[in-house]
Amino acid sequence: MTVPEDKEKINNELLKNPALIRPMDGAEYGESFIWLSMSDEIPIKVNLKNFRIKFEEIASKYPSFNVGAKGPTWIKLPIDSEYDITEIEYEERKDIENMSPSNKEDNHLWYINISYKENTTRITLHVSHALCDGRTLETMFLVVMHSVIESLNKEEKEELLNNTNYKHLPSLPIPCDLCEFGQKSNFFYEKIPKELLNGVPESWKKCTPLDLPKIDLPNHYVGSYFEYDDKYWDSYFKKMMKEKNIKLSLQAAMMASESRALRKFCHLEYDYPIVTNVMYDSRMNKLAKEEYKKREFFFGALSGFPIVIGQNDWEKDILHCKEVLSKDVQLLDGLGMLLQIADSMNKETLELTPVTGIPAYTKNNIVVTTYINHFKGYIKPRIGVRLACGKDYFVCQYAWRNEGKIHFMILHPKTIDKKYIDSFKNEFDELFKFFEEKSK
């Protein structure tokens, strides 16, 4: 095990030789202004000292917890003199949570907060988006929670693993190293059409202007949380498989709901085209190399902008969204843009040349939606997304699933037209009423 003095020595050497730290490429740097978090609560009071010891032992094997980063004006060291785990005061979760950046995020790539309420422990992992995406956030959190489990005594461990959802917790993920600068080595780069590596693709240019709410500054983001029982979605999903042999996705259902909401808020016709910005896992791209497909850590998200035409019928809307999503994910447009953005940072000079022409969320017919994952093995998982809020804001709907529940968070500026945000929540209510009705 590395001792604090060894880590301090390593950090001092890196400060003297910053060339030893791989700089962020343009894609990673662009995400470095966003922070993701995942938390859960367990019905046991975790011994903080024991947790530190076990986390040190396990996390030391994972490069994602031990890498540094270098941007145009700063260096973030791989590790502090000891892993950054801090006890904070317990606060009850709220339906609306502040998503402003923390001062702590200026000098770290990740950190852990732990808090207690009687015999309950909440563990929260905060990670720079440059280091992970919504899916690999969970693999980092798995390392944290396995460390928690290993820190428990025999009775506590048996209680958690036998009598809670933690009996379904996935095993520890396989470590992997950070990829090469620029992301190119992850894909069969020579097979990407050259026109996709030079400018914004046509599929990203289909936006039309809308009169969307403006905000006053200063402002900050908040997350509005709500959830639904998953039994009606499950019932509808199985019914569609049995009767029509159609496998639905929550991502498609979210796209249908949010595009409907935007049309209603803007008083548009039911079939007005809406651009749905969705996040894809680049590891699943058809040009991804086999080794890259197996990676479970680090940032690997890319964007798509499928266009949704309303069908004026919930089931037809969802099926239409499934169709356009299936077609869009086959395109190489998002991959081409990911590599262009990654290449916008000069590795030697750290000079950034921003890619222009990316659609503006605050002015156009765009909704942003991402279904993160179906988590298994947690009790009360919650996702957070923290970033600074500027005039060119965006509103994003996130969803994740756990045993018995489908959770949603709408990320939005705090002081924005409430009717705008309510329109999305109201349409989700209608969506789940539809699931219930179809389940009868």
CA dihedral in degrees (201, 348, 299, 70; nearest 10)?
Answer: -140
Does one domain contain both 206 and 341?
yes
Q: What residues contact 408, with CB distance under 8 A and at least 6 apart? A: 225, 226, 227, 228, 397, 398, 399, 428
User: What sign for the dihedral angle of Cα 53, 152, 41, 229?
Assistant: positive
Residue 175 in tokens: 């470590």
- Backbone dihedral angles phi then psi of residue 132, each to the nearest 5 degrees: -155, 170
Q: For strands 274-281 and 366-374, give the pairing.
A: parallel
161 and 231: one domain?
A: no
Residue 160 to residue 42: CA distance in whole angstroms = 8
pLDDT at res. 103:
72
Q: Which two tokens stand for residue 10?
A: 């390593």
| The predicted structure's pLDDT at residue 14 | 58
Which of 111, 145, 167 is the endpoint of a domain?
167
The rounded distance, in Å, linking the Cα atoms of 249 and 246 is: 10
Please give the residue range of the domain that contains residue 344: 200-438
Cβ(368)–Cβ(361) below 8 Å:
yes
Is there a single domain that holds both residue 145 and residue 245?
Answer: no
Do 408 and 339 belong to one domain? yes
Determine how many CB atoms are found less than 10 A away from the CB of residue 271.
12
Number of independent structural domains in the chain: 2
Q: Are 407 and 371 in contact (CB under 8 A)?
A: no
Same domain membership, residue 210 and residue 155: no
Predicted local confidence at residue 4, as pLDDT:
45
Same domain flag for 86 and 208: no
The pair of structure tokens assigned to 57 is: 């032992």
CATH code (residue 275): 3.30.559.30
Helix, strand, or coil (residue 7) = helix
- For residue 139, being part of any structural domain is answered with yes
Does residue 80 form part of some domain?
Answer: yes
Name the domain boundary from 167, 184, 217: 167
pTM score over 0.75 = yes
**Which pLDDT score is estimated for 1?**
34
| Res 359: pLDDT | 86
Q: What is d(CA 410, CA 177) in angstroms, rounded to the nearest whole number?
A: 33
Residue where one domain finishes, among candidates 167, 184, 218: 167
With respect to residue 192, please indicate whether it lies within any of the assigned structural domains: no
Question: Are both 230 and 115 inside the same structural domain?
Answer: no
What local confidence, expressed as pLDDT, does residue 2 receive? Answer: 42
Q: What is the per-residue pLDDT for 67?
A: 86
> Each residue's pLDDT tens digit in the chain (440 positions)?
344 455 566 556 655 555 557 889 999 999 999 999 999 999 999 999 999 999 999 999 999 998 888 888 777 766 554 678 999 999 999 999 999 988 765 667 899 999 999 999 999 999 999 999 999 999 999 999 999 999 999 999 999 999 999 999 999 999 999 999 999 999 999 999 999 998 888 888 889 999 999 999 999 999 999 999 999 999 999 999 999 999 999 999 999 999 999 999 999 999 999 999 999 999 999 999 999 999 999 999 999 999 999 999 999 999 999 999 999 999 999 999 999 999 999 998 999 999 988 888 899 999 999 999 999 999 999 999 999 998 899 999 999 999 899 999 999 999 999 999 999 999 999 999 999 999 87
CB 66 within 8 A of CB 142: no
**Domain-located, residue 229:** yes
Q: Are residues 221 and 126 in the same domain?
A: no
Could you tell me if 130 and 221 lie in one domain? no
CA 98 to each of CA 101, 389, 407, 418, 419: distance values in angstroms, whole numbers, following the listed order: 9, 12, 18, 16, 19
Q: Report the alpha-carbon distance of residue 85 to residue 387 in Å, rounded.
A: 21
Vertex 115, ends 138 and 158: CA angle to 5°?
Answer: 65
In a domain, 210, yes or no: yes
Give the Cα-Cα-Cα angle 339, 343, 344 (nearest 5 degrees).
120
pLDDT of residue 389: 92
For residue 8, the model assigns a pLDDT of 60
* 184 inside domain: no
Task: Measure the CA–CA gap between 143 and 169, rounded to whole angstroms.
Answer: 11
